Amino acid sequence: MNTPPTETSSQFITLLASLMLVVQLLLAVQRMLVTNIRLFALQSLLLAAIATVVACVFGAWHVLVVAVLTLIGKVLFLPWWLERLVRRIKIGQEIHPFVNMPASMLICGALTVLSYVVARPFTSLERLGSNTLAVAIALLLTGFFLMINRRKAITQVLALLTMENGVMLAAIALTTYGMPLVVEIGIFFDVVIAVMVLGILVFRIRESFDSMDVSKLNELKW
User: Which CB sits closer to another protein, 77 or 144?
Assistant: 144
Q: Which one of the spans 32-40, 65-73, 103-111, 214-222 is the region binding another protein (CB under 8 A)?
A: 214-222
Q: Which one of the spans 39-47, 87-95, 100-108, 200-208 is the region binding another protein (CB under 8 A)?
A: 200-208
Does residue 175 interact with another protein by CB under 8 A?
A: yes
Choice from 182, 199, 211, 215 touching another protein (CB under 8 A): 182
DSSP 8-state class, residue 72:
I
Q: Is 59 left (phi over 0), alpha (psi -120 to 50) or beta?
A: left
Using CA atoms, how far apart are residues 206 and 88, in angstroms rounded to an integer? Answer: 11
Strand partners, 152: 213
DSSP 8-state class, residue 125:
G
> What are the phi and psi torsion angles at 129 (to 5°)?
60, 180
Choice from 7, 61, 102, 121 touching another protein (CB under 8 A): 121
Strand partners, 213: 152
Using CA atoms, how far apart are residues 44 and 158, in angstroms rounded to an integer? Answer: 12
User: Which CB sits closer to another protein, 1 or 102?
Assistant: 1
Choice from 38, 209, 213, 215 touching another protein (CB under 8 A): 209
Does residue 4 interact with another protein by CB under 8 A?
A: no
Q: How far is CA 175 from CA 3, 42, 60, 128, 200, in A?
A: 14, 24, 13, 8, 35
Does residue 122 interact with another protein by CB under 8 A?
A: yes
Using CA atoms, how far apart are residues 199 and 193, in angstroms rounded to an integer? Answer: 10
Closest approach of another protein to the CB of residue 185, in Å: 9
Interacting residue ranges for another protein, rule: CB under 8 A = 1-2, 58, 60, 121-122, 125, 127, 140, 144, 147, 153, 156, 160, 163-164, 167, 170-171, 174-177, 179-180, 182-183, 186-187, 189-190, 193-194, 197-198, 200-201, 204-205, 208-209, 214, 217-220, 222
